[in-house]
Amino acid sequence: MVPTSYYLILSAVLFGLGVVAFVFKRNVITIFMSIELMLNAVNLAFVAFSQARHQSDGQVFVLFVIVVAAAEAAVGLGIIILTARNRQSLNVERVDLLKL
């Protein structure tokens, strides 16, 4: 049986990759994917804990996260498509109108 700590380390690594990609990438789609990566890293941790402690709460929570992620994907992709149409670009550096 694989020890829980392995899962957690994998989860942490995935999450860290997600954070790094989230901060450093410029392509909106990549950023979006890095968010998904972080979500799923968290999911992995949830499931690992759930299995280790023999409780189902973690798995229930994972289902919630998946639902939210799906909804988020729908909205997020919609926004991305519109931005891409307006600016002919997927570079977030150029989406900077929200400032004083």
Partner 1 sequence: MLTRLILDHLWIIPLLPLLGSAINGLLGGKWPKTIVNWVALGATGLSFASALEAVREFLGPNAQALVHNHYFNWISAGKFTAGFDLQLDQLTVVMLLVVTGVGFLIHIYSTGYMAHEGGYYRFFSYLNLFMFFMLILVLAANYVLLFVGWEGVGLCSYLLIGFYFLKKSASDAGKKAFIVNRIGDFGFMLGMFLLFRTFGTLDFKGVFDAAASSPWANVQEPWGQFGTFTIACLLLFMGATGKSAQLPLYVWLPDAMEGPTPVSALIHAATMVTAGVYVVARSHSLFAHSETALVVVAVIGCATAFFAATIGLVQTDIKRVLAYSTVSQLGYMFLACGVGAFSAGIFHLMTHAFFKALLFLAAGSVIHAMGGEQDMRHMGGLSKKIKYTYWTMLIATLAIAGIPPLAGFFSKDSILLSAFQKEGGHPLYAIGLLTALLTSFYMFRLIFLTFHGKQRYDEHHVHVHESPWSMLGPLVILAVLSIIGGWLAAPALWGGPDYFTSFLAPIFGSPEAAGAVSEAAAHQLEIILAVVAVVSALIGLAVAFWLYLRQPGKPEQIAKSLQPVYNTLLNKYYVDEFYAAVVIKPLMWLSTEVLWKIVDVAGIDGTVNGIATGAKDIGDVVRHTQSGNTRSYAVWVVIGALVIIAVIFFWPASGPAIGMVR
Query: Interface with partner 1 includes 85 (CB under 8 A)?
Result: no
Q: Which is nearer to partner 1, 53 or 56 (CB)?
A: 53
9-18 CB contacts, 8 Å cutoff, 24+ apart: 10/44, 11/41, 11/42, 11/44, 11/45, 11/48, 12/41, 12/45, 13/41, 14/38, 14/40, 14/41, 14/44, 15/41, 15/42
User: Total binding residues for partner 1 by CB under 8 A?
Assistant: 13
Q: Report DSSP state, residue 7.
A: H
Query: Interface with partner 1 includes 93 (CB under 8 A)?
Result: yes
Q: Which is nearer to partner 1, 12 or 66 (CB)?
A: 12
**Residues 14-53, interacting with partner 1 (CB under 8 A):** 19, 22-23, 26, 31
Shortest CB 22 distance to partner 1, Å: 6
Q: Which is nearer to partner 1, 2 or 75 (CB)?
A: 75
Site for partner 1, rule CB under 8 A? 19, 22-23, 26, 31, 92-93, 95-100
